[in-house]
Amino acid sequence: MIKRISLASASAAAALALVACTSGPTGEGQPPPAVSPSPSSATQQADDVELYSYEFAPGSLVLPDRGGRVPTRVNAILAMPPGPGPHPTAFLFHASLPRCMWIERDQIMTTAANTVRWEEGCPEEEAVNSEGLTGGHDYLRAPASYGYLAAEMASRGIATVVFDLSAKELMLDTDPLQIHRGLYAVHRDLVTDLNEGRGHGLSWAEKVAGRFDLGRIVWVGHSSGASMMLTELTENPVPGLQAAVAIEPAVSPGGNVTQQARVPTLMVIGSCDEQVGAVWPRKVAREIARANPGMPVGTAELGGTTHLGLLEGAGSKRVSLTGDRVNESESCQESALPGQAAMRAQAARVVADFLEGILAGVDAIDVGIGPAIPVTLKSFNGLALQPTPVPAGELPQGVAPDDFTFEYVEKQFLAPTRPQDWPPPSTLNEDGEVMYQ
Compute the chain's Rg from CA coordinates: 20
In a domain, 430, yes or no: no
Yes or no: say if 238 and 255 are a contact pair by the CB < 8 Å rule: no
In a domain, 436, yes or no: no
Please tell me the predicted confidence (pLDDT) of residue 136. 83
DSSP string, 252-307: -TTS----SS---EEEEEETT-SSS-SHHHHHHHHHHHHHSTTS-EEEEEETT--S
Per-residue confidence (pLDDT) for residue 190, from 0 to 100: 96
Number of neighbouring beta carbons within 10 Å of residue 157: 19
In a domain? residue 391:
yes
The answer to the question of residue 303 being in a domain is: yes
Domain for residue 393, yes or no? yes
**Is 270:279 a contact under the CB 8 Å cutoff?**
no
Tell me how many domains the chain contains: 1
Question: Is there a contact between 408 and 200 (Cβ–Cβ < 8 Å)?
Answer: no
Neighbours of 27 (CB within 10 A): 18
Distant-in-sequence, close-in-space partners of 163: CB < 8 Å, separation ≥ 6: 75, 76, 91, 92, 143, 183, 184, 186, 187
Residue 421: inside a domain: no
pLDDT at 39: 27
pLDDT at 4: 39
CATH number of the domain that 33 lies in?
Answer: 3.40.50.1820
Indicate whether 201 belongs to any domain: yes
pTM for the whole structure: 0.86
Q: Tell me what pLDDT residue 392 has.
A: 94
Q: Which pLDDT value is given to residue 326?
A: 62
Element (H, E) at 205: helix 205-208
Could you report the average pLDDT of every consecutive run of 10 residues in the chain (437 residues)? 36 25 31 30 52 94 73 94 96 89 83 88 76 81 96 97 88 76 94 96 97 98 94 91 96 87 94 90 95 96 94 75 62 86 97 98 96 97 97 93 94 84 54 43
Strands 134-135 and 127-128 turn out to be: antiparallel
Query: Which residue segment(s) compose the domain that 331 sits in?
Result: 2-414
The reply to whether 426 falls in a domain is no
3-state secondary structure of 163: strand
